[in-house]
Structure 1
Amino acid sequence: FDLVYVMTGGGPANSTSLVIFYIYQQAFAYGNFGYAAAMASFLVVVLVLLTAVLFKLTKGGRFDFD
């Protein structure tokens, strides 16, 4: 987030924009704090689910190199 914001600010036509940068813009540039909070909450849920799936697929984070 910080590198995109400092280096390009989203770039021309938002070509380097990230989801978290979009959430930041909605909250602090446009004042849509509720919308940004809902998007951030949804992002947390998606990341937790993705982490749980990957944790299951890697057998609890343990790798068997044999």
Structure 2
Amino acid sequence: MKHLVDLDEGALAAAQEHLGTKTIKDTVNAALNLATGRTLSGDTIDAALDVWSTMDLPDREDMWR
């Protein structure tokens, strides 16, 4: 089902950054799922993993020292 809504562009951009989503649809659905405590979809999890894969994380060996 499609809905026509006016969105706060600043809030949308912040939500996309926070959730790691790229499209408006993915962002709104992820935010709704998060707000309701529902399990995230496979697409949302894939999007989050894509974000993690590009992050420069510290070396595990250095973390335990």
Shorter-chain TM-score: which interval? 0.3 to 0.5
What is the TM-score of this pair, normalised by structure 1? 0.32
Higher helix proportion, which one? 1
TM-score, with structure 2 as normaliser: 0.33
Q: Bigger radius of gyration, 1 or 2?
A: 1
